[in-house]
Amino acid sequence: MNLKKFIPLILCLGVIFSAHAQKDPKAKAILDAVSKKYQSLDGLKATFEYTFIHERDGINQTNTGEVAVKGDKYRLNLDDQEIYNNGKTSWTLIKSDSYKEVTISDVDTDFDELTPSNIYNLYKKGYNYRLLGDRTINSRSVQEVELTAEKKGSQIQRVKIMVDKSTNDLIGWEMHDNTGGLLQYKFKDVDSKVKLNDSYFAFDKTKHPGVEVIDLR
């Protein structure tokens, strides 16, 4: 599994809700507030921590990264790769000691993919949702909302989102994949007042001399 492309497959748990609970109005109010807040920003930058746990395979790995988001655009910086996405084109830059290469592809808006720029809008199409309740995380009062795919065949089946109760900030989310693994993401330092130009989300080859280009468009 490639954790770094933010395209995890989600475990289908077959959770059954009553007709009334399929679209929990309390959960929707929380999700609407989060979506409205993040879509109104001129940009957001944050550091984050992500952990992959797979008990069967004895895996427990934690890494850190940086992310920037503006509308449907995002830029992701990880240990050995960077992903640029301007909403139409995606560039994945692989970095190593011996070589650099960037793969260019069109963004498939119909693909069932979880990205930093759509996590707060994921609920709007193809998902049921319910409010799980409140909990405290690092002295913050947090509301937990669970999204469950309406279709059994959907790639993303279950996502739990954690939202700060007083500010509507998205502070983290977690997902179960179809191999029995658990993915957890937690935002760290967040700057929601930064203003980012659209060019920030496009790869600039002139800043990466010697990079090999693989164009799949």
Q: Which of 149, 105, 100 is nearest to 126 (CA)?
A: 149
For 65, residues 6+ apart whose C-beta sits below 8 A from its C-beta are 4, 47, 48, 50, 76, 77, 78, 79
Binned at pLDDT 50, 70 and 90, residue 94 comes out as very high
Query: Does residue 192 surpass a pLDDT of 70?
Result: yes
Cβ atoms within 10 Å of 209's Cβ, excluding its own: 7
Region for 198 from its dihedrals, namely left if φ exceeds 0, alpha if ψ lies in -120 to 50, beta otherwise: alpha
Query: Does residue 21 surpass a pLDDT of 60?
Result: no
Higher pLDDT, 142 or 16: 142
Binned at pLDDT 50, 70 and 90, residue 111 comes out as low
Query: Does residue 12 surpass a pLDDT of 60?
Result: no
pTM for the predicted model, two decimal places:
0.77
Cβ-contact 134, 24 below 8 angstroms: no
Query: Does residue 13 surpass a pLDDT of 50?
Result: no
Which pLDDT score, from 0 to 100, does residue 1 have?
Answer: 46
pLDDT, averaged across the chain:
84
Structural domains of the chain ordered from first start: 7-215 (2.50.20.10)
First to last CA, the chain: 24
Alpha carbon distance 202, 215 (integer Å):
14
Alpha carbon distance 142, 9 (integer Å):
26
Cβ-contact 171, 160 below 8 angstroms: no
Alpha carbon distance 46, 75 (integer Å):
11
Query: Does residue 110 surpass a pLDDT of 80?
Result: no
Query: Does residue 167 surpass a pLDDT of 80?
Result: yes
Binned at pLDDT 50, 70 and 90, residue 212 comes out as very high
Paired tokens of 73 = 């655009």
Coil, helix or strand at residue 70? strand
Query: Does residue 200 surpass a pLDDT of 60?
Result: yes
Q: What is the largest CA-CA distance in the chain?
A: 58
Alpha carbon distance 128, 30 (integer Å):
14
- What's the mean pLDDT in 105-133? 82
Which pLDDT score, from 0 to 100, does residue 34 have?
Answer: 92
Region for 119 from its dihedrals, namely left if φ exceeds 0, alpha if ψ lies in -120 to 50, beta otherwise: alpha
Higher pLDDT, 112 or 43: 43
DSSP for residue 115: -
Which pLDDT score, from 0 to 100, does residue 9 have?
Answer: 32
Buried b (16+ CB within 10 A) or exposed e, 30-53: bbeebbebbeeeebbbbebebbbb
Paired tokens of 37 = 């807040």
